[in-house]
Amino acid sequence: MSAHPRFVLTLLLLAPAGSSWAAHDTNQLEQEIASLSSQVQRLEDANAVRKLQRAYGYYIDRGYWDDAADLFAEDATFETGVDGVYVGKSRIHELLIRHGGGHPGPGLPYGQFNHHMQLQPVVHVSADGLSAQGRWRELALLGQFQKYAAWGDGIAENEYVKQNGIWKIRKVHFYPNFVAPYHGGWSTLKPVADDWKSDIGKVFPADRTPTLTYKPYPDVFAPRFHYKDPLSEIIPLSKPSYQAQSGELAAIRTVIASYRNEVNLLRSHEALEALQAAYGYYFDKGLWSEAATLFAAGGTFEFGQRGVYVGPAHISKAMAALFGPRGLKPGQLNNYMMLQPIIDVAPDNRTAKARWRSDVEVAADGRGQWGEGEYENEYVNEGGRWKIAKLHYYVTVMADYDKGWQDGSLPMEGPSKSVPPDRPPTEVYASLPEVYLPAYHYRNPVTGDPPVPHAALAAVSGGADAALVAEARALGERIVHLQDHNAIEKIQRAYGYYVDKAQWPDVADLYQENGTLEIGGRGVFLGKKRALEYLLKGLGPVGPRKGQIINHQQFQGIVDLAPDGLTARGRWTAFVMGTGGWGDCTYENEYVKENGIWKIARLHASFNMYTSYKDGWQFAATPNTRPDSFPPPPDLPPTTIYLTYPSFFVEPYHYANPVSGKPMPRPNPAAGGVAPMGAYGSH
């Protein structure tokens, strides 16, 4: 969403007492409100579906198999790889337990790591609002301390159903791409046999045969897309801003017109997220022509220092020359994840900008690489269809998989000689160990953006239709709720981008004046000044440093607003690429709306796992930090004392199960989980 407020805030009903509206005018407004309400409902439903899938990920991460199974419809199906189709909640429940290691839970055994991130959603809700489809990427960190560690990668094409007003999972079709050992990585994998059923599939037969067969990496396979054209939705351009008019009918029309614009901007925000995610799915599989069709006629493609390519035809040709043949070749991996979006749509709904993060897993000719970078993109609304006007990927690091980014950083490639670019690079820079900060298209969400206040209708006077005004007021509140949801996601994602580049003053500015910061076991720091002191003294000077990487990625957000719209809570996964290795954290944060601007009221990040790049989580685990770990001392001791991996701890969930409504369970002590009193359950 654009940062600028666009609502007409107050409806002043100026007609004299006793006046009446023509029936047909009232009917037209009722129809317009009903139409907008239907569009808002689809946006709300899409948010509910995303929350459902993300909650599923959080539950299986921690061995809460009962809660994960409760998210499914009674007749749901689950299909993974070529094991076949499992039918019904009870069968799915048993399957989840087996895939999770066999312990019944709740909770995981000591030393087990089972992180399944649910990323890069493309969600489409049906016209009747009773079903939905979604494509997801799963990045998994798996392991058992001192025994094994592995990466997992796959795509899910799922279906959802709305029953009695509650969204449930109706069908999971998960296409595993690989499970690769940490040491050696995905480039060491060999082709599988024709019947590559998992060990679980062999001993726990499915209810039906697989709906299709395929082979995972190093073979090349593109899971089916539930959508044919991610650009199909028509979203009208906004009309000029409306000025409030006198008279009851004119005034209500003014407000509804402003609502229409706001709904279109919200729809554009969602369409742009789906557009970029779809681009990533095409790019992953070498579907260059499909990726190029997402560009505007004069759109540009710029990747690192390779130069600028203009127009879909040349972009498609360049992708094939630079990144491999169409459909890739056996043994080639080309995962470019589209993550952590910050999307801003212009008030006229004609253009937009967005920042994205991309974690990169690539392999070719038996050589694996890790990478990371950021996109700063521009988009254009052409006749109601959003397209990419400018795609610019900034390479932070590309590194040899075995050596990692400390010792194995690779230089960026320059312009191609076989398919020369149309223009030289727009910016000249070098990747790690050098540092470069791509300019942000947005201002700090707290200090730089004016507030977007609640829409409101003034008290009804005269002969106005009170029921109609009440419907309009309720619609306005729902629109603001969606705007607030996006604003909170923007703050948390901006936090991650600022931490990446050690922009500590910008991080502190996201806080409420008396907000609190608690990270790991260091204790609680009270207020913005103390938070900034912690960042400066504990984490180093302001700004990126040569050879340093501290990517603090913010994924899988579940945001819930309070009924009054003034406070909210959010759960996030932080996947950390640090100079020394890997990190994994869970955030449970609180937010507050002050004078129309959302701020962080409480940031609480619990560590799950930290380890070195060399050893991985198989052989090494860094203990939790303590109040005396490094200066400065905290204002208060830690709110919870807990142990990190290989011990088991779950940061409490701020929400109940989205389907069953049950509060979160306590772990079974037999699982080996360690939790202090009060650590589990819903807030």
Closest CA to 70 of 164, 169, 174: 169
Q: 48-227+656-683 with 267-407: one CATH topology?
A: yes
Sorted by sequence, the CB contacts under 8 Å of residue 454 that are 6+ apart come out as 9, 476, 477, 480, 565
- In total, the chain counts a number of residues equal to 683
Sorted by sequence, the CB contacts under 8 Å of residue 483 that are 6+ apart come out as 1, 262, 266, 452
Sorted by sequence, the CB contacts under 8 Å of residue 186 that are 6+ apart come out as 151, 153, 178, 180, 217, 333, 361, 363, 368, 401
- In the block, tokens 């942000």 appear at 440
Contact call for residues 397 and 371 (beta carbons, < 8 A):
yes
Tell me the C-alpha distance between 678 and 683, whole Å. Answer: 10
Tell me the C-alpha distance between 518 and 48, whole Å. Answer: 29
Measure CA of the first residue to CA of the last residue in the chain; give whole Å: 30
Which pLDDT score, from 0 to 100, does residue 249 have? 67
Instruction: Spell out where 471-562 has E strands.
Output: 511-519, 524-526, 550-561
How many degrees, rounded to 5, is the angle at CA 641 between CA 637 and CA 646? Answer: 140
Tokens at 143, concatenated = 């392991």
Tell me the C-alpha distance between 529 and 508, whole Å. Answer: 8
Which pLDDT score, from 0 to 100, does residue 466 have? 78
Sorted by sequence, the CB contacts under 8 Å of residue 543 that are 6+ apart come out as 501, 502, 503
Contact call for residues 361 and 339 (beta carbons, < 8 A):
no
How many degrees, rounded to 5, is the angle at CA 351 between CA 346 and CA 357? Answer: 90
Which pLDDT score, from 0 to 100, does residue 75 have? 97
Tell me the C-alpha distance between 279 and 307, whole Å. Answer: 20
What's the predicted TM-score (pTM) here? 0.93
Which CATH code fits 48-227+656-683?
Answer: 3.10.450.50
How many Cβ atoms are within 10 Å of 514's Cβ, its own excluded?
A: 10
| Chain-centroid distance, C-alpha 604 | 19
- In the block, tokens 């005269």 appear at 462
Contact call for residues 331 and 365 (beta carbons, < 8 A):
yes
User: Alpha-carbon torsion 23, 24, 25, 27, what sign?
Assistant: positive
Q: Where are the chain's structural domains?
A: 48-227+656-683, 267-407, 502-651
* Residues 15, 19, 22, 26, Cα dihedral to 10°: 60
Instruction: Spell out where 537-667 has E strands.
Output: 550-561, 567-578, 581-594, 597-612
Low-confidence ranges of the chain (pLDDT < 70): 1-24, 240-249, 450-464, 665-683
Alpha helices in 71-109 (DSSP H): 89-99
Which pLDDT score, from 0 to 100, does residue 15 have? 34
Q: Which helix (H) or strand (E) holds 87?
A: strand 85-87
Which pLDDT score, from 0 to 100, does residue 570 have? 98
Domain 502-651 has CATH 1.20.1740.10: no
Which CATH code fits 267-407?
Answer: 3.10.450.50
